[in-house]
Structure 1
Amino acid sequence: MKSLNESNVHKCRNVREKLELHLARDPRKVVILDDDPTGTQTVKDVPVLTTWDKDLLIEEFRNDRKAFFILTNTRAFSENEAKRINREIVEYLDDVSRMTSKDYVLISRGDSTLRGHFPHELEDLWTDGLHRFDGILFYPFFEEGKRYTSEDIHYVEEEGKWTPVSETAFAKDTTFGFKCSNLKDYIAEKTGGVTRIEEIQSISLEDIRIGGADAVASKLKSLKNNQYCVINSTEFSDAIIVALAVARCEAEGKRYMIRSAASFVKARLGIFENTLISGEDLKVNDQSKAGIIFIGSHVPKTTMQLNYLLENSELASIEVNVVALLDEKSREQTIDDYAKQIDAYLQDKKDVVVFTSRSVVAFDNLEENLKISVSISEGLIGIARRIQVAPRYVISKGGITSSDMATRGLNIQRAMVQGQIIPGVPVWLTEKDSKFPDLSFVVFPGNVGEKSSLCDAYEIISK
């Protein structure tokens, strides 16, 4: 399949300009519900809220910005709690929309490796009549993370090879494991067969690259009554065409619930420029001479990156004993001891990486596994809360870890996305109400990057 840049079959070469024109005319606020904090990994100069207090929502609806993120962190909760959170947020958004006389469009940003509570966490929005949607668009393509969809099969590129996602470690996740790489099969699997494969539509690469926005819009217009539709893409130019088609359909009154990875969010917001930020442009706390890296994720990629970092840098390291964290008798003393160690390193102007022991504590029960993950994350957060010395920066590795670190460890209520330190790894700038104001907080997804990527990010921010 030829790319957009290589092919002459497209009737419109100014797809971006057409999309920008549609977006400029659209008065609605774009609200991205992010099930963990890594969804900001393709944008810049966009605010992110970690709470959905109505006063904060009103401020966002009334300012001149086109979009904002709300960190729901639902991937860290049970399915029922995830449903409750999404419903509550949408009810608040509906109230604020009425109060400010400003409509909004919703995007649910989810994992590009298919982990999470989709579709159940969103079902109440359409089954209970809270919102009406013509279609439910499933779009996990994520170029920066090398996650591609072709012929409805979703792939993860690993060491230059496209591997069906069901054959990767992500599919064996102890909480969100799955069996299917074909996205139609995946939806059927996740709905327990309630949604049949033959009921699910798809938009192919041929639709996008040969038919263009007109063909994609035609398929989108055919969707009705919350019908699922899988979207294929292997490069960002595909997402721009899809975004244009969605914009055209919405301008004609169609409504869609979009569950996407981060690349579509970038296209939908009309962000086409490079969002990478240089080390010189990063805002760091110059009053401090050392930073902290927190690592809670246990996926194999994170362990590989951690080992590479330890082998190729001179920073101090603290291995947090998970068993001690899970022991109620020793937990508080353990947390206090680690916080004091970190303070000592920061006082000595020594960068430090804090990581949980790599052995995985797992049970057969999915709810129990999730509770353990949350308990470990809470231990790291407890350590962060007791740190007294302001760090120069903080890098947090892993979605659940980063969310808890942002909201409870650093007390972030609102931050601004500066950009990405490396592809797929966003940097937030904290505001005055946080534990450490004007701090660069790097949200490093557990499933992103190559072996050296964590070390690369560290070298950029520590200079």
Structure 2
Amino acid sequence: MSQTLVEIEQGIAAGAPISAEDVRAAQARRSQQDILVVLDDDPTGTQSVADLPILTSWEVDDFLWALQDNPAAIYVLTNSRSLAPDNAAKINREVIAAANSASETAGVKPRFVSRSDSTLRGHFPLETDTIVEELSQLDVQVNGVVLVPAFSQAGRITVNGVHYAGSDEEGYVPVAQTEFSQDATFGYHNSFLPSWVEEKTGGKVTAESVLVIDLQALRTDRSGVVSELLASSDRRAIVCDCTCENDLRHLALALIEAEEQGARFIYRVGPPFVRAMIGQEVREPLTPQEIPTPTPSQEVAHGGLVVVGSHVSLTTKQVTKLKEDVSAQSVEIDVEKAISRDLRNEYLDSIVTSVVNGLRNGTTILATSRTLVRGIDETDSLRIARDVSSFVTDVVQRVTAIVRPIFVIAKGGITSSDVATKGLAISRATVIGPMLPGIVSLWRPEEGPAAGIPFIVFAGNVGNEDSMVQVVQKLIAAAHDS
């Protein structure tokens, strides 16, 4: 049974308003310039921020490029959510080493953020453990791992340690009661985050040992919160309640104060945490006039390319609505044929031809078949997902070499990453801002064959049935106005 936010927050004080400027001022008082290095396990973490650099490769030179304009944060797309555990850990180590080296050259102090899914899917505690271990090699001791999965704009909130998903219109339910908890690779049974930590650590960390910073304390007793943060040690798991942007700003001020007194934390968070932590204003959705339009260098399509990999029910509803309202053509990939060694190449040729012909007439949807193909276990499910993604990116690469879409939308986290890095060969980009309030980010690729093409990262589990239509209509209007 769902509950309203008013029911969930009953008896909890509202808390004094905190502005983004308040947080920026606190950051400015730091004794040394800090920069947040965000290890983003899929590209959707950028949907809450604007005007920040994004790296999809992580050599020292890439970090130096990103650091040249003194940003408050750098996003590094690891795409680790799609990887096996060993590979995910390896990439985390590589990013940390390169970030530390470049930061030393640039004279800044990196602080690491492990950005993951607001519905609790991803490699936890593997990734935060890896970061802690790498820092320990540099004699950096971590007081705590701060867990803030809340993402209120997408309907994820945490109260009294319980993480919820839903909306103001339909109400909220504990997240373990949603389809997200049934994920083939990262499923779980607990909504109470201390118990979730115990579950994910296999009992290594008990629920009783997890510190919960509740809303009442966060909103009314900052000194008490700071004291609890300072008292934490030995990478203690710290769960933080949050239902809105103001809560995140209260938390940011407490963390900044604790860090100035010598504490060190690793963050495992949902998308909006970084925005609050660096004191960035909530960016209004981009208008058609603000959307970049590149100078064409080849045949330009009459529409954009919408690549759909996500299988959650909301995505299916959004795609159905897009077909109806925008008259978008659809090319469906049969997953069984796509992963077949015998059929793949011939099938790939036919799909490329269909998509090119579609783009010459208008906006075209490239989607995998809606029945999710699962493996015999978690590892096999990941392998199938990678094989399907490889097929999709081969299609995008070949299509965009023939005709230039007026935009590219990638629907789903893993899909977005693979389309960006493999399909469009994006290595450095800038996140311009959100397409919808607090969600769906637009990147401007800074180099390579896709330079300047608006690339839209659209998480599978955000928005409502009309959201895809709204984004596509805005992009078409931008192209027509240019």
Q: Which moved more, 1:201-210 or 1:97-106?
A: 97-106
1:169 aligns with 2:179: yes
Q: Which runs of 5+ in 1 are unaligned?
A: none
Question: In the TM superposition, what whole-angstrom CA distance separates every residue of 1:316-348 from its partner, at most 9, and x where no partner exists?
Answer: 111111111011112122222222222222333
1:365 aligns with 2:377: yes
Q: Which amino acid aligns with 2:292?
A: K
Residue 354 of structure 1 corresponds to which residue in structure 2? 366
Residue 354 of structure 2 corresponds to which residue in structure 1? 341
Please tell me whether the aligned partners of residues 332 and 366 of structure 2 are also in contact (alpha carbons under 8 angstroms). Answer: yes
Question: In the TM superposition, what whole-angstrom CA distance separates every residue of 1:367-396 from its partner, at most 9, and x where no partner exists?
Answer: 000111111111110001101101100011
Residue 260 of structure 1 corresponds to which residue in structure 2? 269
Look up the SS of the partner of 2:76 in the other structure. Answer: strand
1:64: Cα distance to partner?
2.1
User: Structure 2 CA distance, aligned partners of 1:438 and 1:194?
Assistant: 47
1:17: Cα distance to partner?
3.6
Go from structure 1 to structure 2 and tell me whether the alpha carbon gap of 1:23 and 1:134 turns closer, same or farther (over 3 Å shift): same
Q: Which amino acid aligns with 2:318?
A: Q
User: Structure 2 CA distance, aligned partners of 1:235 and 1:8?
Assistant: 13
Q: Which moved more, 1:354-363 or 1:59-68?
A: 59-68
Please tell me whether the aligned partners of residues 298 and 358 of structure 1 are also in contact (alpha carbons under 8 angstroms). Answer: yes
- What does residue range 45-444 of structure 1 map to in structure 2 within 5 Å? 45-127=51-133, 129-130=136-137, 131-158=140-167, 160-211=170-221, 213-285=222-294, 287=296, 288=300, 289-348=302-361, 350-387=362-399, 388-423=402-437, 424-431=439-446, 433-444=447-458
User: Structure 1 CA distance, aligned partners of 2:422 and 2:18?
Assistant: 45
- What does residue range 439-454 of structure 1 map to in structure 2 within 5 Å? 439-454=453-468
State percent identity of aligned pairs: 31
Question: In the TM superposition, what whole-angstrom CA distance separates every residue of 1:419-451 from its partner, at most 9, and x where no partner exists?
Answer: 1111310010111x2222111100000111112
Residue 20 of structure 1 corresponds to which residue in structure 2? 24
Please tell me whether the aligned partners of residues 336 and 386 of structure 1 are also in contact (alpha carbons under 8 angstroms). Answer: no
Go from structure 1 to structure 2 and tell me whether the alpha carbon gap of 1:449 and 1:253 turns closer, same or farther (over 3 Å shift): same
Please tell me whether the aligned partners of residues 276 and 420 of structure 1 are also in contact (alpha carbons under 8 angstroms). Answer: yes
User: Structure 1 CA distance, aligned partners of 2:358 and 2:431?
Assistant: 28
Please tell me whether the aligned partners of residues 113 and 156 of structure 1 are also in contact (alpha carbons under 8 angstroms). Answer: yes
Please tell me whether the aligned partners of residues 396 and 444 of structure 1 are also in contact (alpha carbons under 8 angstroms). Answer: yes
Please tell me whether the aligned partners of residues 49 and 272 of structure 2 are also in contact (alpha carbons under 8 angstroms). Answer: no
1:98: Cα distance to partner?
2.8
Q: Which moved more, 1:99-108 or 1:278-287?
A: 278-287
1:67: Cα distance to partner?
1.5
1:15: Cα distance to partner?
5.2
Q: Which moved more, 1:281-290 or 1:224-233?
A: 281-290
Q: Which amino acid aligns with 1:48?
A: I
Please tell me whether the aligned partners of residues 143 and 236 of structure 2 are also in contact (alpha carbons under 8 angstroms). Answer: yes
User: Structure 2 CA distance, aligned partners of 1:344 and 1:127?
Assistant: 51
1:8: Cα distance to partner?
8.8
Q: Which amino acid aligns with 1:297?
A: S
Q: Which moved more, 1:169-178 or 1:293-302?
A: 293-302
Question: In the TM superposition, what whole-angstrom CA distance separates every residue of 1:77-131 from its partner, at most 9, and x where no partner exists?
Answer: 0112111111121122222233333211111111000000011122133246234
Q: Which amino acid aligns with 1:49?
A: L
Look up the SS of the partner of 1:83 in the other structure. Answer: helix
Go from structure 1 to structure 2 and tell me whether the alpha carbon gap of 1:206 and 1:14 turns closer, same or farther (over 3 Å shift): closer
Q: CA RMSD in A?
A: 2.1
Question: In the TM superposition, what whole-angstrom CA distance separates every residue of 1:300-326 from its partner, at most 9, and x where no partner exists?
Answer: 221121122223221111111111101
Q: Which amino acid aligns with 2:425?
A: N
Look up the SS of the partner of 2:290 in the other structure. Answer: coil
1:63: Cα distance to partner?
3.0
Please tell me whether the aligned partners of residues 23 and 278 of structure 2 are also in contact (alpha carbons under 8 angstroms). Answer: no
Q: Which runs of 5+ in 2 are unaligned?
A: 478-482
1:13: Cα distance to partner?
5.0
Please tell me whether the aligned partners of residues 410 and 456 of structure 2 are also in contact (alpha carbons under 8 angstroms). Answer: yes
Question: In the TM superposition, what whole-angstrom CA distance separates every residue of 1:51-81 from its partner, at most 9, and x where no partner exists?
Answer: 1011111232343222210001000001121
TM-score, normalised to structure 2, is: 0.91
1:237: Cα distance to partner?
0.3
Residue 41 of structure 1 corresponds to which residue in structure 2? 47
Residue 476 of structure 2 corresponds to which residue in structure 1? 462
Please tell me whether the aligned partners of residues 29 and 61 of structure 1 are also in contact (alpha carbons under 8 angstroms). Answer: no
User: Structure 2 CA distance, aligned partners of 1:63 and 1:229?
Assistant: 33
Please tell me whether the aligned partners of residues 12 and 216 of structure 2 are also in contact (alpha carbons under 8 angstroms). Answer: no
Please tell me whether the aligned partners of residues 21 and 279 of structure 2 are also in contact (alpha carbons under 8 angstroms). Answer: no
Please tell me whether the aligned partners of residues 15 and 244 of structure 1 are also in contact (alpha carbons under 8 angstroms). Answer: no
Look up the SS of the partner of 1:426 in the other structure. Answer: strand
Please tell me whether the aligned partners of residues 301 and 451 of structure 1 are also in contact (alpha carbons under 8 angstroms). Answer: yes
TM-score, normalised to structure 1, is: 0.94
Please tell me whether the aligned partners of residues 86 and 122 of structure 1 are also in contact (alpha carbons under 8 angstroms). Answer: no
1:173: Cα distance to partner?
0.5
